[in-house]
Structure 1
Amino acid sequence: MPRLIEPGTTRLQLRQWRDSDRAPFARMNADPQVMEFFPALLSREESDAGIDRQIAHIEQYGWGFWAVERLDDRQFIGFVGIKHVTADMPFAPAVEIGWRLATDAWGQGFASEAARAALQVGFEQLGLPEIVSFTVPGNFRSRGVMEKLGMQQGENFLHPALPPAHPMQEHVLYRLANPM
C-alpha cells in the first residue's frame, strides 16, 4: 500500500474517511442546495457507496477525494481532493480536483483553501503535469473556485454518465498545468 498523504492547512485537515463521516455525508448528499448541480439527491446507500469508492482510491494511491474537517472543532464539512477520472471521460486519462461542502461551510474560503492543498500534493509531491476540473456551465460557485485556483476554461463536453438530452449533460472543463 502506498504512503497515505493527508494534507492540511491552517484551518483544515484533509484525511482518510471515517465511519463517523457517513451520516453527515449522507445528510449533505440529501440536501437540495448542495446537490443543485447533480442529477439527483443521493440515498444513504448511494452516499455510503461513494465513501467506499473514495476510501478504495486513497488506499490504492495514497491520495484521493479526502474527507475535510475544520481544525478548530474537528467537524466534518465535506470532501476536497484529487482523483483519477473514469476512463470514459473524453479527456481521460487525467486527474481531477473536486469538492463538495455542506452549506454551513460555504462562503468561508474552505473550498479554495483545501483545493490549494490538494493541488500542492498533485503538483509538488506527485509531479502531475496537469489537473482538471469540471462542472455544469451554470455552477458559478464551483467555476469561481476553479478560477481562483488559476484554472483555465477549456472545451465543453457531454458527460458520459448522463443520458443524451439530460439538462446537466453539458459540462465545462477547466485545466491547470503544473507550474513547476
Structure 2
Amino acid sequence: MPQYLFSTPRLGFRTWQPFDLDDFAAINADREVMRYFQKPLSREETQAMIDRMLRMYEEKGYCYFAVDHLESKELIGTIGLGWKTFEADFTPCVDIGWRLGKKWWNKGLTTEGASACLDFAKQLQIPEVVSMASVGNGASIQVMRKIGMAYWKDFEHSELRDFPHIQQCSLYRIIFGSTEER
C-alpha cells in the first residue's frame, strides 16, 4: 500500500517511485494528452521529469505528484505544484498543473485533485498560486475556473517561442488570505 501525502475521496497523492515509469511514460507518449505541450516525451525524458520532481519535492516540499486512483490503484497521471523560473514578469512563482491519461478525462478527477493541491499549498503557507495553459486548452482553463482561480492575463510563454501554436497562454491565479484582486 503506497504511503500517500494526502488524498481525496478518489485520489491518492504521493512522491514518484521507480514502478511509475512505464505508466507515466505511456501517458507522456500519447499525442492527444500532449497536444498543448511541445511534444510527446520519450521514456528517457519521462524519467528525467520524474527525477526533477523528486528533487523539487526534496527542496520545496511540493512537486507535480504521482496520483493514484484509490479504487483501482492505477496511476492516473500527475497533479501538483511546481516552481517556475522561466522568463516572465510574474516569475519566479508557484504554479499548479496536471496531466492525466485519457482514460481518466471527463470524470471530475482533475478538478478534485487540483482543489486538494490548492489546500496543500495553503497548508504550506504559499501566498499565491498561478496556473497557465495555452489559450486553446479550454479543458484546463475550465478546471482553473472551477477551482476558484481568477483570470489574470494572457502572455507569450518564453519557453514556447519555437511552438507558435501553443505560445499564447492564459494565466490564472489565486491569492490566499486576500479577498481583493491585485
What is the aligned partner in structure 2 of residue 16 from structure 1?
Answer: 15
**Residue 44 in 1 paired to residue 43 in 2?**
yes
Q: Which runs of 4+ in 1 moved over 6 A?
A: none
Of 84-93 and 61-70, the range deviating more from structure 2? 84-93
Aligned partner letter, 1:13: G
How far residue 98 of structure 1 moved from its aligned partner, in angstroms, is 0.4
* 2:145 alignment partner, one of 138, 144, 147: 147
Equivalent pairs, count: 176
| Structure 2: distance between partners of 1:46 and 1:175 | 29
**DSSP 3-state at the match of 1:23:** helix
What is the aligned partner in structure 1 of residue 5 from structure 2?
Answer: 6
What is the aligned partner in structure 2 of residue 72 from structure 1?
Answer: 71
Cα offsets for 1:43-90 (capped at 9, x unmatched):
111111111111110122221110000111211000001121124233
Closer, same or farther: CA 165–50 of 1 in aligned 2, 3 Å: closer
What is the aligned partner in structure 1 of residue 108 from structure 2?
Answer: 109
How far residue 165 of structure 1 moved from its aligned partner, in angstroms, is 6.8
| Structure 1: distance between partners of 2:47 and 2:94 | 23
What is the aligned partner in structure 2 of residue 62 from structure 1?
Answer: 61
Question: 1:81·1:115 contact (CA, 8 Å) conserved in 2?
Answer: yes
How far residue 5 of structure 1 moved from its aligned partner, in angstroms, is 8.1
RMSD: 1.7
TM-score, normalization by structure 1 = 0.92
Cα offsets for 1:146-178 (capped at 9, x unmatched):
000111111111111122672211111001111
Aligned partner letter, 2:142: G
- Identify which of structures 1 and 2 has the higher relative contact order when contacts are C-alpha pairs closer than 8 Å and 6+ apart: 1
What is the aligned partner in structure 2 of residue 126 from structure 1?
Answer: 124
| Structure 2: distance between partners of 1:163 and 1:83 | 21
| Structure 2: distance between partners of 1:32 and 1:87 | 24
| Structure 2: distance between partners of 1:111 and 1:90 | 28
**DSSP 3-state at the match of 1:116:** helix
Where structure 2 has 5 or more consecutive residues not aligned to the other structure, the ranges are: none
Question: 1:67·1:76 contact (CA, 8 Å) conserved in 2?
Answer: yes
Question: 1:5·1:63 contact (CA, 8 Å) conserved in 2?
Answer: no
TM-score, normalization by structure 2 = 0.91
| Structure 2: distance between partners of 1:37 and 1:169 | 9
What is the aligned partner in structure 1 of residue 97 from structure 2?
Answer: 98
